[in-house]
Structure 1
Amino acid sequence: MQIQLWQIIVLGLLGGIAQWDETNMKLGFRNPAITGLIVGLVMGDVKTGLLVGGTLQLMTLGIGSYGGATIPDYATATIIAGALAISTGQGIDFAIGIGVPAALLLVQLDVVARMSNVFFQHKAEKYADERKYEKVELMNVLGLSTWMISRFVPIFICLFFGESLVQRLLEVSPDWLMGGLRVAGGVLPALGVALLLKYLPVKAYAPYLIVGFVLVAYLQMPMLGVALLGFAAALYNFKKAQSQDAAPAAAAGATYMGGADEDE
């Protein structure tokens, strides 16, 4: 399947909009699962797009861009890997093999975008001192544009030139290399879950973890069903904790009212 020019442009714009959304509206376009869905719609294979996005979403668990830290860009990697996987027909394992290195390489472009943004912010400070507020707004928009361009350009280049290159690499790649990519595609999502579990109170909620594992591993329950059961258990515990907190408060209120009556 040949990637059309309009698809490349749309996906490049998606990468830029996702970066804009991260610093503004927070609608969720930077989540690989969301970008994977959109990639699937644009490329005509929603299932593969969701599989790629959902798998790379697992790798984002347990990490965050705190204090301006630069982290692997799995959202942009989802766009590149998902589109190439669909166009070449290689599937999820091939996509993960491309997506992880792409996410790590995009870290460097994110650093460049942040550095270039400093120029515009210094200009904005200068115009603010001069009370030229329209130019302050313009500098902020231009500063954000560098981040958007830092995503659009690599997506466009990878999809415009990458498909033929990928096809050629597939023809000459040995079986052991492709096998290694498949193994990596299976291990890395588990690593993302492991990072998340490290920061969660697993010991306190071990019974729920075991129940979820049994439902998936032995009863073959779909992930949506497990998630709904987990939500129900969380809601039950939340309501129970609320009632326990409300009981001492109600007792204290009754004691206070009783003391007031005796004073009267």
Structure 2
Amino acid sequence: MQIEMWQIILLSLLGFYAIVENLGICILANQALMMGTITGLIMGDLTTGLAVGATLQLMGLGIQAYGGASVPDYMTASIVGTAFAVMSGKGIEFGIGLAVPVGLLMIQLDILARFCNVFFQKRIDSAVEHVDENKIKLFHRLGIVSWGLSRGLPIFLVLNFGESIVKFVSDVIPTWVTGGLQVAGGMLPAVGIAILLRYLPVKQFITYLLLGFVAVAYLYIPMFGVAIVGFALALLQFKKLTEATTVTQQVVVNEGISEDEYEN
């Protein structure tokens, strides 16, 4: 598939918006799953966008730029990975395999963008000292532009020369390399699940984990069905905890201790 210029422009603007909004409060807009879904719609292959975005979303769980640290940018990776998966026609695993190094490469551009923002921040500090409101607004907006261009511009360049890049990847790079990327892409969902289980209280709720495994591996229940079962079990667990708390409070009150003293 040959990508059109309007698709390149939309995806570049999407990458620009995603990283800028990453500093805001819209937690749904700046997720790899959402970026993959929107990219899939733009590229005309929603299934591929959902698959690539969901896989990268799993990989990014628990990864945050705490303290200003630079972390892999799976939002941009989701855009590029989905676009290349559709353009190349080699499938979801191939797109995921290419998306991972893109996310790691974005770390370097993230550092460059932060460096530019430090420059603008110094100018803002100087403008504050001189009470120059116009310069404060100007440098603030320039900081937003530099931050957005750190993703939007690379996406534009990569996708603009996408046909030649895809041809290079398809014809020049050895088959064992592309095959390795496909194998790695197939393994990444398992890695994401393993990372997720590492931070969840698995030992406390091992029964529910085993039920979910049996439902998928042996009963072949679709993921949506498993999600409904999990939601039902979560409601049951919540109800049990609520009832236990109510009983405990009643026992405390019957023993002559007020609720205020119990809470203290």
Q: TM-score, normalized by length of structure 2?
A: 0.91
Separation of aligned partners in 2, 1:57 and 1:108: 21
Which residues of 2 match residues 28-67 of structure 1 at below 5 A?
Answer: 28-67=28-67
Matched, 1:144 2:141: no
Moved more, 59-68 or 172-181: 172-181
Question: Cα gap change, 1:113/1:240 in structure 2, threshold over 3 Å: closer, same or farther?
Answer: same
Identity %: 48
Counterpart residue type for residue 63 of structure 1: I
Which residues of 2 match residues 227-246 of structure 1 at below 5 A?
Answer: 227-246=227-246
Secondary structure at 1:143's aligned position in 2?
helix
Question: Cα gap change, 1:235/1:142 in structure 2, threshold over 3 Å: closer, same or farther?
Answer: farther
Contact kept in structure 2, 1:9 and 1:156, CA below 8 Å: yes
Contact kept in structure 1, 2:55 and 2:192, CA below 8 Å: no
Deviations 1:11-35 (A, max 9, x none): 0000010111110132422211101
Separation of aligned partners in 1, 2:163 and 2:226: 38
Contact kept in structure 1, 2:58 and 2:196, CA below 8 Å: no
Aligned to 1:214: 214
Separation of aligned partners in 2, 1:227 and 1:130: 57
Which residues of 2 match residues 22-171 of structure 1 at below 5 A?
Answer: 22-171=22-171
Structure 1: unaligned runs, 5 residues or longer: 259-264
Deviation at 1:220, TM superposition (A): 1.2
Separation of aligned partners in 1, 2:19 and 2:45: 24
Separation of aligned partners in 2, 1:172 and 1:62: 37
Number of aligned positions between the proteins: 258
Separation of aligned partners in 1, 2:242 and 2:158: 52
Separation of aligned partners in 1, 2:173 and 2:115: 37
Secondary structure at 1:90's aligned position in 2?
coil
Aligned to 2:4: 4
Separation of aligned partners in 1, 2:221 and 2:32: 24
Separation of aligned partners in 1, 2:171 and 2:146: 37
Structure 2: unaligned runs, 5 residues or longer: 259-264
Separation of aligned partners in 1, 2:256 and 2:77: 61
Contact kept in structure 1, 2:58 and 2:189, CA below 8 Å: yes
Deviations 1:198-220 (A, max 9, x none): 12111111111111111111111
Deviation at 1:49, TM superposition (A): 1.0
Contact kept in structure 2, 1:84 and 1:163, CA below 8 Å: no
Aligned to 1:18: 18
Contact kept in structure 2, 1:85 and 1:91, CA below 8 Å: yes
Separation of aligned partners in 2, 1:135 and 1:255: 67
Question: Cα gap change, 1:257/1:80 in structure 2, threshold over 3 Å: closer, same or farther?
Answer: closer
Separation of aligned partners in 1, 2:4 and 2:25: 30
Matched, 1:196 2:196: yes
Moved more, 110-119 or 221-230: 221-230
Deviation at 1:90, TM superposition (A): 1.4
Counterpart residue type for residue 243 of structure 1: E
Separation of aligned partners in 2, 1:224 and 1:231: 10
Aligned to 1:183: 183
Deviation at 1:168, TM superposition (A): 3.0
Contact kept in structure 1, 2:40 and 2:49, CA below 8 Å: yes
Root mean square deviation of aligned Cα: 1.8
Separation of aligned partners in 1, 2:243 and 2:158: 55
Question: Cα gap change, 1:19/1:250 in structure 2, threshold over 3 Å: closer, same or farther?
Answer: same
Question: Cα gap change, 1:253/1:129 in structure 2, threshold over 3 Å: closer, same or farther?
Answer: farther
Runs of 4 or more off by more than 4 Å in structure 1? 253-258
Aligned to 2:261: none
